[in-house]
Structure 1
Amino acid sequence: PKFGGRFNPGLITRAVLPLARELHAQQPFDLVDAQFFYPDGPAAMAVARDLGLPFSVKARGADIHYWGARAYGRDALLETADAAAGVLAVCETLADDMAELGMARDKITVHYTGLDRDLFRPMDHVGLKKRLGESFGIPLAASDTVLVTVGALIERKGQAFVIKALADLPNARLLLVGAGADETSLRGLARQVGVADRVHFLGSLEPALLPPILSAAVAMVLPSASEGLANAWIEALACGTPIVITDAGGAREVVTSPAAGVIVARTCRAVREGIDEVTRNPRPPQMVAATVERFSWTANAAALAAHYDAVA
């Protein structure tokens, strides 16, 4: 929330603790788990202390970078990490950032995101643009270069850089998947740079609708200012679509070969050059998808179960 961040852990605790006590009395828990470091982590710590249980907490990105930049947030993060029986992070880079904040690095286990591999896979490109255009009312021609950006419409995700780059990519159309506070300003920017007819706001979509969009695109472009390890990166690659991303969070743990795409600076020119590079050197979809073979819900669940067994 924009306001009240300092008080949210206490408010969550007050709301959750009576129910937690009731459920624990009916069927005792083994541990308390928080899947976001702040404000969830301090609340989980309070509930666990009340019930006399160990607790685990996971860091995802903004919960460390945003709240750790505030004195009260940093204090709460460090207290939570110190008291936790186990600490998880979505990538090595985030774990290193947590250590720089003051957390014990040897206490942090990297736990990569999962992926529904039955859903996110390369789709046949024959007729895909036409079907996509008909579904969303977009005049997609076979010759159009389709770009997609998946993420909340907020400054941190960097959609503005992609919109500006579009001015120098006359055959490209940009599909923006996501919703957020910056939609009005992004629409205004598209009009300002003369590409409003080639920027299409699709809003928030169900996961099942993403694979055909990702598969039809030549690149998923996401010039974020900060990330942990974005699900959008993995989902795009699993659909055979290379990514053009900034050196944020676990980017270098994902773009480990040219097949996965390129890492660029967070400037309009660099984003445009990254799109040009990917467009000029198309990658076979199966080769792109192979770069994220290690990501699956099976592997994610097994690693999480092992972590819980170790801390409970």
Structure 2
Amino acid sequence: MTQKLRVLTLSTLFPHGAAPNFGIFVERQTAELAIRPEADVTVINPVGVPPWPLSRLGQYQALNALPEHEEWRGLDVYRPRFRLIPKIGGASNPRRIADALLPLVRKLHRQAPFDIIDAEFFYPDGPAAMRLASALGIPFTIKARGADIHHWGDDRKCREQILQAAEQANALLAVSEALKQDMIAIGMDGSKISVHYTGLDQEKFRPIDRLAAKQALGVSGPLFITTGALIARKNQDLVIRALARLPDATLMLAGMGEEEHAYRALARQSGVADRVRFLGSVPHDQLPHLTAAADIAILVSKSEGLANAWVEALACGTPVIISEAGGARELVGSKSGGRVVDQTVKAIIEAAKAILAEPPAQELVRASVSQFSWTNNGDQLLAILSEAASTA
């Protein structure tokens, strides 16, 4: 092994100029690893673009305009293109990614050999990393984050590739103990899986004067925030429906996605359109203030690993209402942190009323995530990668 651990971070989930918030937690984890003198990190962020004429659509034109190689917030990032087949091409994505990346990866490896490939999402990144690592003759690791196991693992063709990659990987990571157990349940070797909790910027995400922050936002009653892509899996429709029975409450939806039009219509139909604020994609630097201003963060997803938004809300002193998904109970072990509820409108309403009636102290809420930091995250990641590289 070289003096520095040479890491190739492979991630389809990574921010770029057309979507600066996309996968920002992967960027933050990678940046933490890269600042360490023991590591040298190169990022490859494969960008999927469909064949003509679909490539002419607006969202793909923006992707085509991205630079192939750039310094992104201090990180050395390559963004090679691969052929994406929307809707129906999921099972073949790993092969197409690996084929598109191999010439670049071979070139970079000749210039300065990599010690290990670290895939940041189990699918399609994991099986693609498996192919690349085999071609280079080096070890690889894969991190599971939630939907990559719960969604892609339900597809038979994708699951076969997921399990093959898990078997050949030198180490596996999971964002929660619950997700680790889900990985074991579908056939992965539990002895290879390390629980690797997300990091957290404790300086940015912290309690503020909530009353003053709400007044600045023009809110006098209860304020809720739901952070995440507006997609069916995140269940924001349940929160909108619940708002109809929570008078004077205002809901901020921080995120954008394919369900926005339907959610706007639902808000109108439910008579709460004037109390739902669609904020769009909020810059991450603005998120701490909005989250700390809220009385409750409500995130009742159908599935999660361990949502960064949960951890960030708690750090802001904002109690959470979250569903029994992923590592929910690893965070919320008492009522001071909020409630873990069923994915129903009734459960959300009852939990919100209970928290508003007896709001926990902000510092008590914050204490529940005191162990989360990017330093701890980086220390553990470096240790896992170093061991995987040295024992391969």
- After TM superposition, the score normalised by the length of structure 1 is 0.96
Note if 1:10 corresponds to 2:88.
no
Do the aligned partners of residues 126 and 162 (structure 1) sit closer, same or farther apart at CA in structure 2, a change above 3 Å counting?
Answer: closer
Q: Distance in 2 between matches of 1:42 and 1:162?
A: 36
Q: Give RMSD over aligned pairs.
A: 0.9
Q: CA deviation at 1:258?
A: 1.4
Map Cα deviations across residues 264-297 of structure 1 (whole Å, 9 max, x no partner).
1111000111111111111111111110011100
Matched positions, count: 304
Note if 1:67 corresponds to 2:152.
yes
Note if 1:193 corresponds to 2:270.
yes
- Partner SS state of residue 119, structure 1: coil
Unaligned regions of 5+ residues in structure 1, if any?
A: 134-139
Partner of 1:141: 219
Q: Distance in 2 between matches of 1:286 and 1:175?
A: 23
Deviation beyond 3 Å, 4+ runs, structure 1: none
Q: Distance in 1 between matches of 2:212 and 2:354?
A: 25
Q: CA deviation at 1:3?
A: 3.1
Partner of 2:377: 300
Identify, as 1 or 2, the structure richer in helix. 1
**AA partner of residue 122 (structure 2):** F
Partner of 2:359: 282
Partner of 2:170: 85
Partner of 2:281: 204
Q: CA deviation at 1:126?
A: 4.7
Q: CA deviation at 1:130?
A: 2.6
Map Cα deviations across residues 118-141 of structure 1 (whole Å, 9 max, x no partner).
11111222521132x2xxxxxx23
Map Cα deviations across residues 94-125 of structure 1 (whole Å, 9 max, x no partner).
11001110111111110000011111111222
Partner of 2:189: 104
Note if 1:257 corresponds to 2:334.
yes
Unaligned regions of 5+ residues in structure 2, if any?
A: 1-85
- Partner SS state of residue 172, structure 2: strand
Map Cα deviations across residues 178-237 of structure 1 (whole Å, 9 max, x no partner).
000000000010011110110110001111111111111110001111000000000000
Note if 1:58 corresponds to 2:143.
yes
**AA partner of residue 172 (structure 2):** V
- Partner SS state of residue 94, structure 1: helix
Q: Distance in 2 between matches of 1:125 and 1:75?
A: 49
> Are the aligned partners of 2:211 and 2:293 in contact in 1 as well (CA < 8 Å)?
no
Of 183, 189, 198, which residue of structure 2 is paired with 1:113? 198
> Are the aligned partners of 2:205 and 2:292 in contact in 1 as well (CA < 8 Å)?
no
Indicate the percent of aligned positions where both proteins have the same amino acid: 51
Map Cα deviations across residues 57-110 of structure 1 (whole Å, 9 max, x no partner).
000000001111011111011000000000000001111001110111111110
Note if 1:180 corresponds to 2:257.
yes
- After TM superposition, the score normalised by the length of structure 2 is 0.76
Q: CA deviation at 1:152?
A: 0.6
Partner of 1:151: 228
Partner of 2:297: 220
> Are the aligned partners of 2:172 and 2:193 in contact in 1 as well (CA < 8 Å)?
yes
Relative contact order, CA 8 A, sep 6+: which one is greater? Answer: 1
**AA partner of residue 94 (structure 2):** P
> Are the aligned partners of 1:123 and 1:211 in contact in 2 as well (CA < 8 Å)?
no
Q: CA deviation at 1:262?
A: 0.3
Q: Distance in 1 between matches of 2:326 and 2:210?
A: 31
Q: Distance in 1 between matches of 2:319 and 2:210?
A: 15
**AA partner of residue 57 (structure 1):** I
Q: Distance in 1 between matches of 2:204 and 2:100?
A: 36
- Partner SS state of residue 123, structure 2: coil
Q: Distance in 2 between matches of 1:110 and 1:185?
A: 37
Q: Distance in 2 between matches of 1:169 and 1:274?
A: 11
Q: Distance in 2 between matches of 1:180 and 1:154?
A: 6
